[in-house]
């Protein structure tokens, strides 16, 4: 296993555990497994917990990826952030769809459904982050700031 893969597994695993912990606490205790009315829209508890978890893990994940895992990337920070955001939003949408299917169609307990979706999303995320958000470029246009 390469050092980069180990770093990704360690920091990504820690961020994933943080996200799962935030998801569990917010689903069980903040939203009390009920709908959360957000003015014009009501989120089901498992979706509200997903959004809160995303808000916590997005900045943590970006900084870990930029400074620990893919520190050899020579792309500008703002480009990395934009690309990281695009992939994270795709991951969030994928996570949302999988949660809706598992929880609302197959009646899987939301925390278990979240663990299942995490396993699927993590594989896509590593490949996308390595080859898109934090790739090493050959040209000088995207060098580090």
Digit-coded pLDDT (tens) for 86-96 = 989 999 999 99
pTM of this prediction?
Answer: 0.82
pLDDT tens readout for residues 30-42:
999 898 888 888 8
How far apart are alpha carbons 47 and 111 in whole angstroms?
A: 11
Query: Residue 7: exposed, middle, or buried by beta-carbon count in 10 A (0-12, 13-18, 19+)?
Result: middle
103-145 per-position pLDDT tens digit: 999 999 999 999 999 999 988 887 877 787 777 766 544 444 4
Report the pLDDT averaged over residues 23-33.
94
Cα distance between residue 118 and residue 18, in whole Å: 12
Nearest to 111 by CA among 50, 35, 38, 42: 50
Question: Is the pLDDT reported for residue 75 higher than 90?
Answer: no
The residue extents of the domains of the chain are: 3-142
CA 145, CA 131: separation in Å to the nearest integer? Answer: 20
Write the CB contacts of 23 (distance below 8 Å, at least 6 apart in sequence).
49, 50, 52, 53, 111, 114
């Amino acid at each position: 296993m390469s050092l980069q893969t180990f770093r990704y597994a360690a920091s990504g695993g820690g961020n994933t555990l943080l996200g799962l912990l935030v998801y569990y606490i917010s689903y069980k205790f903040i939203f009390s497994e009920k709908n959360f009315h957000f003015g014009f829209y009501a989120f089901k508890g498992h979706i509200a917990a997903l959004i809160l978890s995303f808000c916590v893990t997005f900045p943590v994940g970006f900084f870990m990826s930029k400074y620990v895992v893919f520190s050899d990337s020579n792309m500008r920070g703002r480009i990395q952030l934009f690309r990281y955001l695009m992939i994270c939003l795709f991951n969030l949408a994928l996570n949302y769809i999988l949660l809706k299917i598992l929880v609302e169609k197959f009646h899987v307990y939301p925390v278990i459904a979240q663990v299942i979706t995490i396993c699927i999303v993590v594989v896509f995320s590593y490949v996308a982050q390595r080859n898109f958000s934090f790739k090493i470029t050959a040209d000088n246009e995207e060098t580090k700031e």
